[in-house]
Amino acid sequence: MKKVLGEQNYEYFFDRFLYYFFTEKDAKYFASLGLNCLRLPFDYRHFEDDMNPRVLKESGFKHLDRVIDLCTKHGIYTILDLHTAPGGHNPDWHSDNPTSYAAFWDYKDHRDRTTWLWEQLAARYKDNTMIAGYNLLNEPCDPEHVRLPALYDRMEPIVRKIDPNHILWLDGNTFAMEWRGFEKVLPNTVYAMHDYSRMGFPTGEPYKGTDEQKKTVENQYLRKALFMHKHKTPIWNGEFGPIYASERVEGPDYEKTNQDRYNLLGAQLSVYDKYSISWSIWLYKDIGVQGMLHTNPNSKWNKTIQSFLDKKALHRLDASGVQPSAESVAATKPLIDWINKVCPQAEDVYPTPWGTETHVLRNVLQTFLSAAMSDEFAELFRGLGKEELEECAKSFSFEECVQREGLNRILREHAKDRNSTPTKHPALSEGNEEKLGGW
């Protein structure tokens, strides 16, 4: 994008995009649903450069401070979520990792820089009582399992020396799904799981609300929360939520598919109500995949990129929420079958939930091919001036976005039930004991 737009227009567009993505109207709407906590994901690159490490970029706080202040005004807590750490702390796309290799774990300086960044953030926000705390790493993946709890043990006293009061929200290993290597509980800490269900994804079994499926939903939660139940700690489900269908991709029956996924979401929330845990839905706003709000298909942004979205779906370039296409299956299945034939143990290569198929798709289609086609995506914006870039960015404004009513109705209903019966957890800081339900 920078090569195509030039430095000035590049900076202009992304600044306006971040502004429109969350304004006061978004905060007001979010609070109107009875949701009282917003998880704010951010990339370390907003605050330091790889070629100039440990030099804090004040510009990175422009929109983070703005959103925190908007949330405070409307009574919404915020949890600061480091979604992307130096070196890539997991091998997946959402850690902004273009290699599928999580170098974070093999180079101490990556972990040192992450600790340094949290020192800067703690110093800035230590007196802000509307920040519910710090989510130190999103979905870490340590193949050895012991380096993650060791890192938490190291970071906790360093952050506490600066800010002794805020809660630490600590994700489990392997995309916040397992707790091997965790042997103790840190003080004033909430342990976090992520609870996506395959029944909410295009390639999963459709959810029909059978007794067996309901039991599967509950058992999946119990497995991921075993460590917290064993140690009697508070529990936070930091991410969950189905992928929603669209008429363009799934055809005229897409609403039936989405109703199944709303029903799945309701079943999950009923489990969380049963065990009295806090939760944050993923996510608030996107282009029509999972968000509580999404851009209008007729918006300037969607019209600009639609041809490329169609190509991404055809070639299965997205890692999440994409139906397998005949073309992509024909290209990759023989390779996957061959690998499993000559190396059966490939199915168990970490991250073990992936299996050979996901490893191949991540490394070939969703890393190498996606990166190779990024210039083609950027070319869609060539020649756009500030007026048109403003229109693209404004596509993400509350006024222009579409509300996903089926999703938001369920969230509103469960938030109302939870907020009417708050439970005090002894491990939470004084003043932060209420249920945290939100994004």
CA 187 from centroid of its chain's CA atoms: 25
Which own/partner contact pairs does 150-156 have at CB distance under 8 Å and 24+ positions apart?
A: 151/111, 152/186, 153/186, 154/115, 155/114, 155/115, 155/118, 156/186, 156/187, 156/189
CA 226 from centroid of its chain's CA atoms: 22
Of the pLDDT bands very low, low, confident and very high (cuts 50, 70, 90), residue 439 is very low
Average pLDDT over residues 134-147: 98
Residue 160 burial (10 A CB sphere; 0-12, 13-18, 19+) = middle
| Contact between residue 240 and residue 410 where contact means Cβ atoms under 8 Å apart | no
DSSP 280-300: E-S-SEESSSS-SEE--TTSH
Q: DSSP character for 421?
A: S
Sheet-wide strand order for 285-286 = 285-286, 293-294, 402-403
pLDDT at 419: 60
CA 331 from centroid of its chain's CA atoms: 29
pLDDT at 150: 98
DSSP 222-248: HHHTHHHHHHT--EEEEE--PPPP-HH
pLDDT over threshold 50, residue 259: yes
Average pLDDT over residues 351-355: 91
pLDDT at 377: 97
pLDDT over threshold 70, residue 384: yes
Strands (E), 281-373: 285-286, 293-294
The set of catalytic residues is 139, 239
pLDDT over threshold 70, residue 2: yes
Q: What angle do CA 390, 98, 348 make, to 5 degrees?
A: 135
d(CA 172, CA 402): 33
pLDDT at 311: 93
Among 194, 215, 192, 216, smallest CA distance to 204 is for: 216
Which residues, 6 or more positions from 196, have their beta carbon under 8 angstroms from its beta carbon? 239, 240, 241
pLDDT over threshold 80, residue 286: yes
pLDDT over threshold 80, residue 70: yes
pLDDT over threshold 60, residue 100: yes
d(CA 57, CA 67): 18
pLDDT at 284: 98
| Contact between residue 395 and residue 301 where contact means Cβ atoms under 8 Å apart | yes
pLDDT at 340: 98
Q: 409 pairs with which residues across the strands?
A: none
CA distances from 99 to 92, 104, 174, 365 (A): 9, 12, 17, 12
Global pTM reads: 0.93
pLDDT at 97: 85
Region class of 262: left (phi > 0), else alpha (psi between -120 and 50), else beta: alpha
pLDDT over threshold 50, residue 256: yes
pLDDT over threshold 80, residue 402: yes
pLDDT over threshold 90, residue 268: yes
CA distances from 283 to 39, 247, 287 (A): 9, 21, 11
pLDDT at 422: 45
Average pLDDT over residues 368-383: 95
pLDDT at 418: 63
Of the pLDDT bands very low, low, confident and very high (cuts 50, 70, 90), residue 353 is confident
| Contact between residue 196 and residue 239 where contact means Cβ atoms under 8 Å apart | yes
d(CA 406, CA 218): 22
pLDDT over threshold 70, residue 127: yes
